Homo-oligomer: A and B are copies of this chain.
């Protein structure tokens, strides 16, 4: 019960704190950051919309709206996949890359400050395992986690 109440607060307040940091320092939401960061991590800075959606834990519809906005800001562009016209490729532009490079350090520091630093090494390891167990309970046939 105590565990649960502690967790509920974290579930609400930690995302709010992280969103706040990104919004203040970079003018983007955490979801937008995940999208840009996801693209930046691939060799070609490119991903299919559906891949990107599951990577960033969002629906395809949500991603479509968000990428639309990111496109207007000049950080992403879309092209049909030459290999299969049903897929759409989201590509990080040069400006988008710069945005990620400028934003990442502050965000990583916030994550450290809020989550990693307050915990012991053992707790950090435990938390990784705890997270995986919970994810398995929520969605047994999920393949996102290593």
Contact = CB atoms under 8 A, between A and B. Distances in A.
A9 interface: yes
A146 interface: yes
A130 B135 contact: no
A17 to B, nearest CB: 5
Number of copies of chain A assembled together? 2
A126 interface: yes
A60 interface: no
A144 interface: yes
A97 to B, nearest CB: 20
Nearest to A5: B145
Given A4-B111, A115-B4, A116-B3, A9 B128 contact: no
A137 interface: yes
B117 A6 contact: no
Contacts of A14: 11, 134, 138
Contacts of A111: 4
Interface string A9-43: 11111110100000000000000001000000000
A136 B6 CA distance: 11
A138 B114 contact: yes
Interface in A111-144: 111, 113-119, 123-139, 144
Nearest to A112: B4
Given A57-B8, A116-B4, A130 B134 contact: no
